[in-house]
Amino acid sequence: MHRFIWNRINIQKHSFISWLMVHDKLQTLDNMKWSYIPNHCCLCMMAEENRAHLFFVCKWSRELLRLSSDWLRLTSIPARHAHWIRWVLHAFGRKRRFKVVGALLTAVIYEIWKERNNRIFRNCAQTPNNVFSVMKKKLTHRFAYCYPDFRLAH
Ligand SMILES: [Zn+2]
């Protein structure tokens, strides 16, 4: 699990939020001891907010993951993060592609958490498409910096 989170090419804040997420230390509404905020998912308004819903079930999050996996032509990303490490290792070994996919997954986790916070604390909402296009630019830049000869599908 930690290997895809603490890759050298990952953007550090993405790794940090992902680490908190896999250890269930993010302050999702179900995790808060007290809260004035009613517990509903602010991304879809259709369920209670908890880690499993927010990152793996919510329609908004699944759409961001779908756009991201289409971009790198990934298929069959497991629905649970606990299975990601085995899947990434199995699919890509431990080489460059593994790191690229790790950087993508941690970016997705980060962006979901950021969008959730923007909606709760700043009252500003974006579509998965908007978030994806900005994220894609950042990652493309990062990959090009780390691997100058690396070509991604566009
Ligand atoms: Zn939701």
Confidence tier at 45 by pLDDT (50, 70, 90): very high
User: What pLDDT score does 79 carry?
Assistant: 72
What are the DSSP E strand ranges found in the chain?
Answer: none
Distance 85 CA to ligand 1 centre (A): 24
70-107 pLDDT tens trace: 998 887 777 776 677 677 767 666 677 788 888 999 99
The answer, yes or no, to whether residue 61 has pLDDT greater than 60, is yes
Q: Decide which of 22 and 75 is more confident.
A: 22
Q: What is the Cα Rg of the chain in Å? A: 15
Answer with the residue of higher pLDDT: 32 or 139: 139
- The answer, yes or no, to whether residue 154 has pLDDT greater than 50, is no
* Cα–Cα distances in angstroms (integers) from residue 151 to residues 100, 140, 142, 144, 145, in the given order: 11, 9, 12, 8, 12
pTM, full prediction: 0.87
Q: How far is the CA of 50 from the centre of ligand 1 (A)?
A: 9
Report in angstroms the alpha-carbon separations of 83 from 10, 23, 130, 136: 19, 14, 28, 24
Calculate how far, in angstroms, residue 108's C-alpha sits from the geometric centre of ligand 1.
Answer: 15
Cα(62) to ligand 1 centroid in Å equals 9
What angle is formed at CA 109 by the lines to CA 133 and CA 64, rounded to 5 degrees? 40
Cα within 13 Å of Cα(46), Cβ side = 9
Ligand 1 geometric centre to CA of 64 (Å): 12
Kindly give the distance from the C-alpha atom of residue 53 to the centroid of ligand 1, in angstroms, as a whole number.
6
